[in-house]
A and B are shown apart, each in its own frame.
Chain A
Amino acid sequence: MPPPQPTPKKAVPAPDYKTLKSQWDAAKRKKDAENATTSKKAAAAATEPQQQPPAEPNSDEVKLRELRRAALEGRRKKAYQSRWLWTAGFWVWMLAIHLVGLGYFTSGFLLTRLQLDDKSVCEVPPAPAAGGDNILGDWKGKGTVEGGCWHPRTFDKAVVVLIDALRYDFTVPVDDNAEFHNQFPFMYETAVREPNKAFLRPFIADPPTSTLQRLKGLTTGTLPTFIDVGSSFSGTAVEEDNLLMQMREAGKRVVHLGDDTWESLFPGYFEGNLSRPYDSFNVWDLHTVDDGVIEHIFPLMERKGEWDVVIGHLLGVDHAGHRYGPEHPEMGKKLRQMDGFVRELAGKIDERTVLIVMGDHGMDSKGDHGGESDDEVQAALWMYSPKGVFGRTKPEFAVPPATAEERPVNQIDLVPTLALMMGIPIPFNNLGRPIEEVFAGPRGNSWNNLAAAERVSAAGVKRYQASYYAARGMAEESASTPGSPADLWDKAESLVSKGNWVAVYSAFAEYQRETLARCKSLWAQFNIKNMILGIAIMGFGVLVLLVYVSKGAEDDEAVDDPELDDAEKSLEIMGVIPDSELPLENVLERKLVAAAFLGAVPGLIGGALHAYLKGTGDYYRGAAMAALTSIATVGVSLYEIKETLWTLVPSTLWGWMAAVFTLTQSIGFASNSYTIWEDSILLFFITTFGFVTALSALRIQSLSDRYMAIYHSVLFVILGRLASASKLCREEQMPYCTSTYYASSTSSTSALWQLAIPFAVSLILPTIIKGYLQPTRSYEGLAPAWIGYVFRTGLFMSALYWVLDAADNGNWIPGLPEKTLKNLSVYNAQMVLGLAFVAGTTAFMWAPPCVSIVTSASKSTPTRAQVAILGYGNAHGARYLLLPLNFLVSLVLLSKPMGGGAIAILFWQILSLIEILDLNSLSSTPIGPVMLAVLGSFHFFKTGHQAVLSTIQWDSAFIPLFTVRYPWSPVAVVMNTFAGQILAAVCVPLLVLWKASPKRKGVLGEVSRKLGGFVGYFAVEGLACMMWAGHLRRHLMLYRVFMPRFATAGVVLVVVDLVGLGVSLLGTRGNTVAVGEVFGWAE
């Protein structure tokens, strides 16, 4: 804010600011000297002596002055409010830029596919029902599961054995001595020896090659995308139409053995008394899962009446790969064990049953998978039945392909094949086509059977495509384009009546191939153009934000002299100088917002016009153009105010530290290791900061200040190390990490001793906060009642919630009616949140400043009363502190016992950080907001989270609610997930307001710039994650490391933007109004 320029006309000799200042300084010094000699009153720092004004000349004059004062106050308040609106406008613009940038990148990067809820039904086959067109005519039991819904049934039962990471070359003879070759010959031998009973083919997975995504593909017949836009809010259960769902509909009893991923994907699908799920997490254990499957599958072979489908999922090969890599004796041992297992199992299969052995993906040379390299996608598929129904359409196909490049089938092809074999409908969303060998007949010449199977599955694909395009609101390509799917379909249909089944079969196969290719390009292609555009928008946005932050730093220092302001105000009231009009048009934020709008409009129109003229229909590109042009105009208007990029280069140690902390981490996100160990790196930075400030404290002159600074630095570091004991390890950190967040690494409930943590917090934390308020005599006003009782009660009730929750889970009190404890705990949680947000916000809005006024006799002139205001020096900060406390209570509740402790430590660290910054005079450096951001990020990990989707604590939605309710459930989950960052964001204004007296000028602008530094940290990280994720989009770890980290960074950025705008800035406004009402307007 530019200083109001007084233009005195008379009485003041030299009408410039400096003269005014010198006059005032002189007066002040004189007064100071008097005070120093005559008054030895303590608490000088925290109080400001006020003296009664001398007798007024006459009442008219007094009235006039009073009027002038009221008018001045009113004008200042109005000016402040409008300035606040412009500042908020700037942040709304920033949020919009971040949203457009993130959204644009994501649209090119996160491949999304709409899930359709349609289900296939046995009685309604997708092929046109026109009778004469039916290739096979009617068969016995057509339209029923017994006879075969859409195609004559071949098998009653199926045994599906999934050997995780069974690469194709493990199963065929290869001329070398590798550990993993020639160890598993049984399947190849049977396919060669008895081609009618067995066949073996390469089985190509669609990346990402992670087991979960593969199981989805293998059961639904769809292509995987990272995020399937579904209707469910949480959970991993497959909701699309799938094989298991169809089996259940058809009344088939499915038994599952092995990898428990199936249980989470298909909850409640399996026969509970026969199924045996095993934990898939422990890659160090090669045998438990396999031994379990083998132990339980053979008894089932003797009890054939109790099941229809058995799914056995073995993990040993995969774990051996992860742990040792393929070239290891353990791998050979494992493959030989599998060979023996399959050999024995095949002997138990009867003629009504088909045995399918397959891999869900392969493994790379190190034994890992997840990416899309050849080794990872090439699995093996083997089918066996003593019935002898399999055929080859050409004699040379009798021998299984030597490599996976020859005659591969897609993994999704299993879906229609298995469905038609078992007589059940093909799942609605399927894109696969029937496997030739199964339908070609023992002699390989049943072309009508093949054509019929191919046609019914093609018709299913066509039906799905039509529904998908309709749901997306897109138009299908018309049949007039040669080579389009619609064109191919018409051609194939026209062939049906001619009866050349070979041609019909290949025509429908051609249709399916083309459709699959289209879908792949639609769902599996990165849109590089959109990604680059998103990165550009984010990048320029970050640049503008940083310039904005560094820009203000110089402006603020010039005018921040409260006494000067007082002097000017008094002169104005006395009428010595006329009112200083606050030139609103000079407000920086106003200029920027105006520039943003000015820039956005042509961009929006231009982008939309371009889309209209080109007929591309991508009108959303207008948003990107608007973002870019408005960034450009804002950038230019910042530059206009004599700003160069050079000021962004740090000039002090602290500036360099802020830059190093932010940039090294951002660069580190290019490496999976540094991303995986982010929590340890953040602790390292926190300790580094504390270490350097402790050393820097040795430069402080005043000894008491020096000791306090060292004390807070040491405390800051120790608290950080203490918090680091709370860990929730991600899979990649194993085995160098031990989870402590829950009772054990395999549990997600708290241990008994952990329940004590929130109670300790409620006991200790309010006292600690009191300790930070007392030195400035700010534990006054509302503070003692609110912090000492209300806040403490809230914390205590949060602690109580977790005891009730544990009692409910553990059934501690057996005689209690059902739901009693659940009801109690939920209502208790609702009360805590009500206390924090409803009562807390009300109290914050209406609370007077945390000061109290004491009157004593003045020592210099005992006839006069001297008024001292306790807490004056921290009037802004102490009052604002009430707002973070409200959030603190709710975050402690939502963060589970261990997280509650971490959040309490975070707040303690923030208070120490503010003291460190104050004592070392660092408030004007960027290290404050950056350290706050580092702290927030650190405690993201300490509240039981990692940058992976699996650590989202979905159950936190049910802390204050019985069922999922929008928008409250997502809000609860977001508050649980980003508790650290949210609390840090709410505390940003404390960097400015702490120990700010009511006369501090330019508070709003400074808060906004500190917020800029804070958001800037997350924006730089978000930009870096975005760039790396885009650059490493073919990296093996993309879906495990880089993509989730980018997603985290993106959501964090939006969250801190929203909290900064909606809580920090709004809270600052409320706080300034409340302080201004009492002490007069400083702004």
Chain B
Amino acid sequence: MPLVDPITMASAVSKKGAASQTVTVESSVSPTVETYNLLPVSINQTPLAQTLRHAQPLLLSGVLALGFSSLVKDPVAAMSSTTLPLTAALQAAYAVICLPVAGRGGSDAAKKVKPRPGEKASKKKAKEGGNNAYVLAALSLLITALVTPFIYVCMVLFGAPFLTHGSHTLLCAAHLSLLGLFPLFYVHGVDASAWAAVGGFRAPLDETFGGLAGALVGAWLGAVPIPLDWDRDWQRWPVTILVGIYGGYVLGKVIGGTVAWGKKF
């Protein structure tokens, strides 16, 4: 087999040529570096928003505490009748009052850097949403409901019961979706690049993204006590996961909104 052409080698000794070549090569290798830069979401400055912002974790914990005993007894009934509607109402109020609507918040400034596909649509949507935060919240709730089956599938993949406990898992997925994803839908809409940044964990930490990260980690950790043979009622599926989601969300949201605000993974 012929080894590498020695002639080519010899002809490449010209340093000038090499230097100029280097530049062109490098620029052609990485032309698609993501310059898209998501900014962290700031909470609205109105007194009401600031109050609700701090009250929301307490209220969420209250919802969980309120429903806990019935949750342990009958998870499906408690989730569908108590925790889910209350949490949905709280989250909707939190979004409308505290969060900037889609396209207005942090991601707005970023978009000037480089136009991306899908951005137009979201801008349009942002304008509409700006007119009516309630419509946007309703739309976001709708999307939240639509992605719930997807989260359900994820939970089954993680080992949740496949053929039984369908409503248990689905309701649990709805909680994760409502707590973790709903605020992000509200602030980012369906902006593909923003979601790529969030999904790739490149987005800066704020209350919405921190909440999602916390809820995911909490749900993951919530699985830890399930196998233990303590025979406690609260080990019933999906109580621990649900508690993990609430705990993780509250913790992630508070940390993301305060000390870790603007930081990245």
Query: Which A residues fall within an 8 A CB radius of B?
Result: 22-33, 50-54, 69, 563, 566-567, 569-571, 573-574, 671-674, 676-677, 680-681, 683-684, 687-688, 690-691, 695-699, 701-702, 717-718, 720-721, 724-725, 1078-1080
Contact = CB atoms under 8 A, between A and B. Distances in A.
Contact of B7 (A54, A573, A701): A54
Given A50-B2, A684-B159, A27 B12 contact: yes
A687 B3 contact: no
A30 B8 contact: yes
A57 to B, nearest CB: 11
A53 B154 contact: no
30 contacts: A22-B18, A26-B13, A26-B17, A26-B18, A27-B9, A27-B10, A31-B8, A50-B2, A51-B2, A51-B5, A53-B6, A54-B5, A566-B3, A567-B9, A569-B4, A672-B229, A673-B227, A687-B159, A688-B158, A691-B158, A697-B200, A698-B197, A698-B199, A701-B30, A701-B32, A701-B34, A720-B157, A721-B159, A721-B162, A1080-B1
Interface of B: 1-15, 17-18, 21-22, 24-25, 30, 32-34, 154, 156-159, 162, 196-197, 199-202, 220, 223, 227-229
A676 B226 CA distance: 12
Given A30-B21, A684-B159, A687-B158, A23 B227 contact: no
B159 A680 contact: yes
Contacts of A23: 9, 12-13, 18
Contact of A29 (B3, B21, B34, B229): B21
A563 B21 CA distance: 17
Given A698-B199, A1078-B1, A721 B12 contact: no
Given A23-B12, A29-B22, A688 B220 contact: yes
Given A25-B22, A26-B14, A683-B158, 4 more contacts: A24-B9, A24-B12, A50-B2, A570-B9
Contacts of A683: 158-159
A28 B154 CA distance: 47
Nearest to A25: B18
From B9, B162, B201, B228, residue with most partner A Cβ within 10 Å: B9
Nearest to B14: A26
A717 B157 contact: yes
B260 to A, nearest CB: 17
A709 B199 CA distance: 14
Contacts of A22: 15, 18
Nearest to A700: B200
Question: Nearest 7 pairs between A and B by C-beta?
Answer: A27-B12, A26-B18, A698-B200, A677-B227, A26-B12, A29-B21, A566-B4
Contact of A698 (B2, B14, B196): B196
Nearest to A678: B227
A656 B260 CA distance: 21
A876 to B, nearest CB: 16
Contacts of A51: 2, 5
A685 to B, nearest CB: 10
B2 A30 contact: no
Contacts of B12: 23-24, 26-30
B3 A1080 contact: yes
A758 B194 CA distance: 45
A677 B223 CA distance: 12
A724 B30 CA distance: 41
A942 to B, nearest CB: 13
Contacts of B158: 683-684, 687-688, 691
Contact of A569 (B3, B5, B201): B3
B227 A691 contact: no
A50 B220 CA distance: 52
A70 to B, nearest CB: 12
Contacts of B25: 29, 32-33
Contacts of A29: 12, 18, 21-22, 25
Contacts of A27: 8-13
Contacts of A1079: 1
A680 B202 CA distance: 31
A603 B99 CA distance: 70
Nearest to B3: A570
Contacts of A567: 4, 9
A671 B228 contact: yes
A677 to B, nearest CB: 4
From B12, B14, B199, residue with most partner A Cβ within 10 Å: B12
Given A27-B11, A674-B227, A69 B3 contact: yes
Given A570-B3, A698-B196, A701-B32, A691 B154 contact: yes
A687 B157 contact: yes
Nearest to A33: B21
A317 to B, nearest CB: 22
B198 to A, nearest CB: 9
Given A30-B21, A687-B157, A676 B3 contact: no
A32 B24 CA distance: 12
A30 B17 contact: yes
A676 B227 contact: yes
A720 B33 CA distance: 34
A695 B21 contact: no
A638 B64 CA distance: 54
A681 B3 contact: no
Nearest to A27: B12
A718 B75 CA distance: 27
Contacts of A1078: 1
A561 B133 CA distance: 57
Contact of B229 (A30, A32, A673, A717): A673
From B15, B21, B202, residue with most partner A Cβ within 10 Å: B21
From B34, B157, B200, residue with most partner A Cβ within 10 Å: B157
A695 B18 contact: no
Contact of A53 (B5, B197, B201): B5
Contacts of B24: 33
A671 B158 CA distance: 21
A677 B11 CA distance: 65
A567 B229 CA distance: 64
B25 to A, nearest CB: 5
B4 A563 contact: yes
B34 A681 contact: no
A670 to B, nearest CB: 12
From A27, A566, A570, A673, residue with most partner B Cβ within 10 Å: A27
B47 to A, nearest CB: 37
B157 A574 contact: no
Contacts of B22: 25, 29
A526 B223 CA distance: 36
Contacts of A720: 157
Contacts of B21: 26, 29-30, 33
Contact of A26 (B15, B196, B197): B15
Contacts of A52: 2
A459 B5 CA distance: 91
A721 B220 contact: no
Contacts of B8: 27-28, 30-31
A732 to B, nearest CB: 8
A721 B158 CA distance: 8
Contact of B228 (A26, A570, A673, A684): A673
Given A27-B11, A29-B21, A681 B227 contact: yes
A868 to B, nearest CB: 13
B107 to A, nearest CB: 16
A438 to B, nearest CB: 43
A144 B196 CA distance: 90
B159 A53 contact: no
A721 B161 CA distance: 11
Nearest to A724: B159
A695 B199 contact: yes
Contacts of B17: 26, 30
Contacts of B159: 680, 683-684, 687, 721, 724
Contacts of A50: 1-2
A105 to B, nearest CB: 27
B157 A718 contact: yes
